[in-house]
């Protein structure tokens, strides 16, 4: 199997995807985001594009990328910047570069800063509409959504499904924005099948 990078959301913790990686029996690389959540900051990380550069540096060989929420925006930008380095994508409850508020997504920022008062403020302004460019992402993409996610509702996954050339959407009953934790075994099975397909 190709190397796999796991990218968390704005919570920033490398441990976020740990339960899924464990169920997959996969020794993937779990990245953390400096300055987000409770992660210590780094002077060279001041925005989404710095996180994209960080992931590109971590891609030693063509790899699979599994990403949640804000990490999905990073993953999409990586796939656009270096298509030859991304074999397969898994995007879970993310904006993926489409306008979430237009599709009914709730504003998460107040709750986020209440939970993580020391997190970098730039994350609250990280919005980008990449809708016109998503058709350039040719790699097979699995979209994983929960039907109870107020932050990134299923309509966002459906929009990404319509814009990405080679994508499949799987909606998990009862799944919320943390479905990678609450439904880790289910996601592990879906991701494993996605990686094993020809």
Q: Please give the C-alpha separations between residue 172 and each of 33, 177, 179, in angstroms, as whole numbers.
A: 26, 11, 8
Mean of all residue pLDDT scores within the chain: 93
- Tens digit of each residue's pLDDT (9 = 90 or more) over 138-192: 999 999 999 999 999 999 999 999 999 999 999 999 999 999 999 999 999 999 9
- Tens digit of each residue's pLDDT (9 = 90 or more) over 45-90: 999 999 999 999 999 899 999 999 999 999 999 999 999 999 999 9
Look at the alpha carbons of 33, 39, 42, 47 in this order and tell me if their dihedral is positive or negative. Answer: positive
Structure confidence at residue 19 as a pLDDT band (50, 70, 90): very high
Q: In the 8-state DSSP scheme, what is residue 25?
A: T
- Tens digit of each residue's pLDDT (9 = 90 or more) over 90-115: 999 998 999 888 888 888 888 889 99
Q: What is the pLDDT of residue 198?
A: 63
Q: Please give the C-alpha separations between residue 137 and each of 47, 78, 128, 164, 166, in angstroms, as whole numbers.
A: 22, 10, 16, 7, 8
Q: Quickly list H helices, the chain.
A: 18-23, 48-58, 70-81, 109-115, 154-163, 179-182, 184-196
Q: In the 8-state DSSP scheme, what is residue 137?
A: -
pTM listed for this prediction? 0.95
All structural domains of the chain: 4-196 (3.40.50.1820)
Q: What is the pLDDT of residue 128?
A: 85
* Gap between the Cα atoms of 145 and 9, Å rounded: 14
Q: Please give the C-alpha separations between residue 97 and each of 42, 62, 67, in angstroms, as whole numbers.
A: 25, 22, 13
Phi, psi for 94 (deg, rounded to 5) = -125, 165
| Residues found in the chain | 198
Q: What is the pLDDT of residue 183?
A: 95
* Gap between the Cα atoms of 142 and 126, Å rounded: 23
Phi, psi for 103 (deg, rounded to 5) = -105, 15
Q: Quickly list H helices, 24-136.
A: 48-58, 70-81, 109-115
* Contact between residue 172 and residue 145 where contact means Cβ atoms under 8 Å apart: yes
């Amino acid at each position: 199997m190709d190397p796999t990078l796991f990218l968390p959301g704005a919570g920033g913790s490398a441990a976020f995807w740990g339960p899924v990686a464990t169920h997959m029996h996969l020794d993937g690389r779990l990245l953390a985001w400096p300055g987000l959540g409770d992660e210590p900051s780094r002077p060279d990380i001041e925005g989404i594009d710095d996180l994209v550069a960080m992931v590109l540096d971590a891609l030693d060989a063509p790899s699979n990328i599994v990403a949640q929420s804000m990490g999905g925006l990073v993953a999409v930008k990586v796939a656009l910047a270096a298509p030859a380095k991304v074999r397969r994508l898994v995007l879970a409850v993310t904006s993926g570069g489409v306008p979430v508020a237009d599709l009914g997504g709730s504003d998460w920022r107040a709750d986020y800063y209440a939970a993580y008062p020391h997190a970098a403020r730039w994350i609250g302004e990280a919005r980008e509409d990449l809708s016109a460019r998503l058709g350039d992402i040719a790699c097979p993409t699995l979209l994983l959504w929960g039907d109870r996610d107020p932050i990134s509702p299923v309509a966002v996954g459906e929009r990404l499904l319509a814009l990405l050339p080679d994508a499949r959407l799987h909606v998990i009953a009862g799944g919320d924005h943390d479905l990678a934790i609450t439904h880790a075994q289910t996601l592990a099975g879906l991701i494993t099948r996605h990686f094993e397909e020809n």
